[in-house]
Structure 1
Amino acid sequence: MKQKNRFSFIFFIAVIFSVILSGCSYDKPTSNNSSGKPDKGDTVAKRDEIKVGLDVDAGTMDPRLSKDTSAKRVSELVYDGLVRLSANLEAEPALATKWENPDPTTWIFTLRENVTFHDGEPFTAEDVKYTYDSLIDPNFKAPYASLYDPIQSVEVVNEHQVKFTLKEPSAPLLSYMDIGIVPKHIGEKNDNSLSNTPVGTGPYKMVKWDKNSKIAFEANENYWNGKPKTKKVTYFIIPDNSTRVASLESGDIDLVHSPLSPQDIKRIKENDQFEVKEMEGLGFTYLNFNQKNPILSDLKVRQAISYLVNKKVISNDIYQGMDKPGKSPLIPASWAYNDSISGFSYDPDKAAALFKEAGWEDTDGDKILDKDGKKLSITLSTHSEDPNRMQTVEFLQNEFTKYGVQTEVKTSEWPTFSTSLTEGKFDIALVGWLNLVDPDRSFYNPFHTNGGSNYGKYSNPTVDRLIEKGRTALDSKERTTIYQEAAKIVTEEVAYDVLLYQGYIAMYNKKVTGFNAHPSGSFYGLKDAEVSN
């Protein structure tokens, strides 16, 4: 208990210090009118801008190349996909009004007519073909190209109809058809302009991007799904969780969402000026083990380290129950979830036994395990924008060191951390996956030998076959069995150690009306939101 109190006190001081430092790290939004009085002649005056706080900046504005949540939040306003996923993850019409699946390898989409891009050019089947042709082109190097690998060809049937021919049946493919359709007439110039100046068919146009500061949007007055209720939306990049929430409390911004710090959520819940929406999220937080590291390539070492991870303490004390202890890459919101896949519980004795079996013992009395004259030394890394994750790696550093694993902590800003992750320059990284709308998304990219996000270079031919079969099987019961089997293997072999199942929380001023929170964190609902003065 003394250790826990000391740990909590250090964390409290760290949060206060980070808030003070972060106060100068972004351009403070102009304060809203806080008088609460409507303008003369109005019953309830509405503001012409909704202000949103985000934790990190977008890496790119091109939806085909995006790989971070902020880029996705931009895409949700600027672009439309062929479909949009409901809160129940069901495909609903967007740029496609209907679709047919006449046989397992054919999809025919009928497109919405009289839709224009933000530059006034008409949207047609040519734009759909161009978008998907680029996604499956290996030279384009789309980060999530493997999601669309089943597509063999895309054919323009006519101006408002497009036909997809698949190499093999693909059960999850429709769930991935929500990716934004880009304009062919701009994309084919190959000048990379869409990465900085996006042009879509969505409810808002991006008008300004001050990198690491703010992203400004204005309403698309001719939006096919109805003119947005509010003229402007602005995303403010505020890396520190507590500073972001403080901006919400002061009225500088109107809405924030996950990631958030537990103590801030508790305080906002007790303030009747704000609405707090909590729901089961579509993601998990995990430790990614780099199996190219000679030490971590040993399964017994990975398992031993996993036995030193106290998920209950991390969930209860650091996240204060906001995120729940994790088990496998199958999230509770998934139809394939199986609670019996238990993962690794906290058990230092089992860890010690496994280290010994792997040949790691303290032979020189310095309390660090060694083998063949080499210390058991690793680096734990994460990004500095999330204090919960920073606190978690520091907690794990203490635990690992206590049981003989010499552990260094390395934190960096998201762009640097993300680059190190994708280039495989890490030992054990604490990171998360979001938008897991189908088990295929949890498995193919991260665990298939050729997966585009297999940063830890995990490889198991049996898992490869299961993942491939899970894509092509069309029976839901069969897919459930397949993914549960794959989950057992990757969990036992510690490709990942899934720490937490993420919850999703959106917090906003009660002056905001019409916004419906989505478990994926989608901001498309801002189209129907308004803010009163």
Structure 2
Amino acid sequence: MKMIDDIKAFKDNRGVFSSNNKSAYGDVFVDSSIGDASILNPILSTDSASGDIHGLIFNGLVKYDKKLKLIGDLAETWKVSKDNLTITFYLKKNIRWQDGLPFTAADVEFTYQKLTDPKTKSPYKSGFELVKKFEVIDEFTIQITYGVPFAPALENWGMGILPKHILEKVDINTAAFNSKPTGTGPFKFEDWSRGERIRLKANETYYDGRPFLDKVLCRIIPDQATQLLELKSGGIDSMGLTSDMYVTLTKDPAFTSKYNTYKYIGFNYTYLGFNLKNPLFADKNIRKAIAYGINKKEIIDGVLLGYGVEATGPFLPRSWAYNKDVKKMEYNPEKAKLLLKDAGWEDTDKDGILEKNGKKFEFMLMTNQGNKGRELVTQMIQQNLKKLGVKVNIRIIAWSSFINEFVDKKKYDAIVMGWQLSPDPDIYDIFHSSKTGEKEYNFVSYKNPEVDKLLIEGRTTYEIEKRKKAYNKIHEIIADDLPYVFIYVPESIVAVDKRFQNIAVEPAGIKYNFEKWFVPKEAQKYRTEMQK
């Protein structure tokens, strides 16, 4: 195993530890990711690989606790005006940036200014642009007034706050800071070898107490089979398991003696997304034919082995915005064939592929490298649609290139991807027609004026029943418009080396308290220069 110079293996004492083990400082958590991060600035990053790293480096004013309740992070407390238009945040004092300078209200104001600056390439602008007035009352008090009620306002201020003293005189889009960040969070950036690994170290002056772990090492391993080999050999401490891995490994005593597995339903779903700028998919009936031709149950059984449920739209079954009256899209290849025929697609030359005006019905389906589940989904979609006379070519691309060169630039026909959603059901950034620019989230170029109107309604009222009504209608319309074929909501399954303690599944998953994870002294595996 290749390790970094200042981390030395000194023990491999992995027994089953009781909850009575005392917390201790030390050791290294060696994680893995199928894709490298793109950018480590929280207001610019758009991908989960980046978010997983900068989420440990930065703090917002608020955060979700383990029960998905918003609590203070950099903010000690806050008050909301009776008309729900003004939030006054009272910031925690004596918090310092990781370079030693104090955190103040000026940093929050600077972050807000950068988020709303037209020159900043951020996909998160929309919520902050609703702010009518931003006032710094004093060094640790800010008052934010919205022009209209904005239901996700508090959640929005979970955005990582940036250091004014480092970034105020540079172009934030190209700053060296974006690959060598300084935050206020539990872990400090140490170094980044692109395509290989990212290394963080404990922030010894973190306001909520130094993390127990000395370091976090995230290794870039773009293939889940290779990740599993590394997990079994001790080269990494954790990975997300596919369903077939989970079924096999939990029957293996050699594995279960070394690793705990944690299973929970997250806020994520997998989908087939169409590039609606492509004339092939401009007709809703063509998209509907493809949806009828995809056997979702077969996919869920084959890919997830039943560890998941069918997705019916942009909201998940655990969300209060979910519309239970939206029916599942039936698998009906005969209906699919009729819709295709009605649209003029027929196999006139009897070669098994439909054509229209001399053009074959053929398209490229892309997904990212290293995600076995998504690769299997593309293959099963390919097989399903072949029965309709639709030729699907598959292209698997490394994560960073997939996002930056193809998805962001809309250089694709169709993609298999997934969304990790927030507990608040505001999906304005994903489906509003104004959010189709490069590095924005509506990369399928979906446009529906009624959905636009309802998205605004849903975020500009605090009345839960009005919001629910708006989102239920959005669910219904988008399920019918089919900018995506919504495929499944998987169960998240994660394996973690048993030496790591204080891990429990909660509604927020397992990493809500990562800085409190520890390894008992007798079980620590790696020694670092932080240990005296």
Q: Is the 8 A contact 1:282 1:519 kept in 2?
A: no
Mapped to 2, the partners of 1:183 and 1:294 lie a distance apart of: 45
Q: Deviations over 1:484-518 (max 9, x none)?
A: 10111111011111101132222111111023456
Mapped to 2, the partners of 1:111 and 1:351 lie a distance apart of: 57
Q: How does 1:267-416 map to 2 (within 5 A)?
A: 267-270=248-251, 271-416=256-401
| Distance change in 2, residues 1:372/1:32 (3 Å) | farther
Q: Which amino acid aligns with 1:248?
A: L
| Distance change in 2, residues 1:32/1:367 (3 Å) | farther
Q: Is the 8 A contact 1:124 1:160 kept in 2?
A: yes
Q: Is the 8 A contact 2:15 2:257 kept in 1?
A: no
Q: Please give the root-mean-square deviation of Cα atoms over the aligned residues, in Å.
A: 2.3
- Picking from 154, 165, 168, the partner of 1:188 is 168
The answer to which of 476-485 and 48-57 deviates more is 48-57
Q: Is the 8 A contact 2:504 2:510 kept in 1?
A: no
| 1:47, distance to aligned residue in structure 2 (A) | 4.5
Q: Which amino acid aligns with 1:77?
A: L
Mapped to 2, the partners of 1:46 and 1:95 lie a distance apart of: 24
| Distance change in 2, residues 1:30/1:356 (3 Å) | farther
Query: Which SS does the other structure have where 1:162 is aligned?
Result: strand
Gaps of 5+ in 1: 1-22
| Distance change in 2, residues 1:47/1:248 (3 Å) | farther
Mapped to 1, the partners of 2:473 and 2:10 lie a distance apart of: 53
Tell me what 1:153 maps to: 133
- Picking from 430, 451, 473, the partner of 1:446 is 430
Mapped to 1, the partners of 2:185 and 2:483 lie a distance apart of: 38
Q: Is the 8 A contact 2:39 2:178 kept in 1?
A: yes
| 1:154, distance to aligned residue in structure 2 (A) | 2.1
Q: Which amino acid aligns with 1:237?
A: I
Query: Which SS does the other structure have where 2:281 is aligned?
Result: coil
Gaps of 5+ in 2: 525-532
Q: Which amino acid aligns with 2:226?
A: T
- Picking from 67, 86, 101, the partner of 1:88 is 67
Mapped to 2, the partners of 1:336 and 1:43 lie a distance apart of: 42
Q: Is the 8 A contact 1:289 1:456 kept in 2?
A: yes
Q: Does the alignment pair 1:437 with 2:418?
A: no
Query: Which SS does the other structure have where 1:288 is aligned?
Result: strand
Query: Which SS does the other structure have where 1:530 is aligned?
Result: coil
Query: Which SS does the other structure have where 1:367 is aligned?
Result: coil
Mapped to 1, the partners of 2:502 and 2:383 lie a distance apart of: 46
| Distance change in 2, residues 1:523/1:207 (3 Å) | farther
| 1:246, distance to aligned residue in structure 2 (A) | 2.6
| 1:519, distance to aligned residue in structure 2 (A) | 5.6
| Distance change in 2, residues 1:211/1:317 (3 Å) | same
- Picking from 412, 423, 430, the partner of 2:409 is 423
| Distance change in 2, residues 1:295/1:30 (3 Å) | farther
Q: Deviations over 1:239-273 (max 9, x none)?
A: 2112223322222222223xx32222223333232
Tell me what 1:4 maps to: none
Greater RCO, 1 or 2 (C-alpha within 8 Å, sep 6+):
2
Q: Deviations over 1:101-122 (max 9, x none)?
A: 1132211100000000000000
Q: Is the 8 A contact 1:50 1:530 kept in 2?
A: no
| Distance change in 2, residues 1:44/1:135 (3 Å) | closer
| Distance change in 2, residues 1:37/1:68 (3 Å) | closer
Query: Which SS does the other structure have where 1:391 is aligned?
Result: helix
| 1:281, distance to aligned residue in structure 2 (A) | 0.7
Tell me what 2:147 maps to: 167
Q: TM-score, normalised by structure 1?
A: 0.89
- Picking from 193, 196, 199, the partner of 1:216 is 199
The answer to which of 125-134 and 232-241 deviates more is 232-241
Mapped to 2, the partners of 1:304 and 1:193 lie a distance apart of: 48
Q: Deviations over 1:56-109 (max 9, x none)?
A: 111111111111112111122111110011233221110001111113221110
Tell me what 1:11 maps to: none
| 1:422, distance to aligned residue in structure 2 (A) | 1.5
Mapped to 1, the partners of 2:220 and 2:413 lie a distance apart of: 29
Query: Which SS does the other structure have where 2:347 is aligned?
Result: coil
| Distance change in 2, residues 1:425/1:521 (3 Å) | farther
Q: Does the alignment pair 1:477 with 2:465?
A: yes
Q: Which amino acid aligns with 1:368?
A: I
Q: How many residues align?
A: 502
Mapped to 1, the partners of 2:354 and 2:50 lie a distance apart of: 43
Q: How does 1:1-80 map to 2 (within 5 A)?
A: 33-36=11-14, 47-80=26-59
Q: Which amino acid aligns with 1:108?
A: T
Tell me what 1:128 maps to: 108
Q: Is the 8 A contact 2:323 2:476 kept in 1?
A: no
| 1:523, distance to aligned residue in structure 2 (A) | 4.0
Q: Is the 8 A contact 2:37 2:400 kept in 1?
A: no
Q: Deviations over 1:458-495 (max 9, x none)?
A: 11111110011001021111111110101111110111
| 1:236, distance to aligned residue in structure 2 (A) | 1.4
Mapped to 2, the partners of 1:160 and 1:433 lie a distance apart of: 35
| 1:190, distance to aligned residue in structure 2 (A) | 1.4
Mapped to 2, the partners of 1:447 and 1:328 lie a distance apart of: 12
Q: Is the 8 A contact 2:319 2:425 kept in 1?
A: yes
Q: Is the 8 A contact 1:285 1:500 kept in 2?
A: yes
- Picking from 98, 101, 116, the partner of 2:77 is 98
Q: How does 1:194-213 map to 2 (within 5 A)?
A: 194-213=177-196
Tell me what 1:10 maps to: none
Q: Is the 8 A contact 1:268 1:274 kept in 2?
A: no
Q: Is the 8 A contact 1:109 1:162 kept in 2?
A: yes
Q: Which amino acid aligns with 1:164?
A: I
Query: Which SS does the other structure have where 1:388 is aligned?
Result: helix
Tell me what 2:528 maps to: none
| Distance change in 2, residues 1:433/1:59 (3 Å) | same
Q: Which amino acid aligns with 2:105?
A: A
Tell me what 1:510 maps to: 498
Mapped to 2, the partners of 1:43 and 1:117 lie a distance apart of: 30
Q: Does the alignment pair 1:261 with 2:242?
A: yes
Q: Is the 8 A contact 1:220 1:228 kept in 2?
A: yes
| 1:417, distance to aligned residue in structure 2 (A) | 1.2
Q: TM-score, normalised by structure 2?
A: 0.90
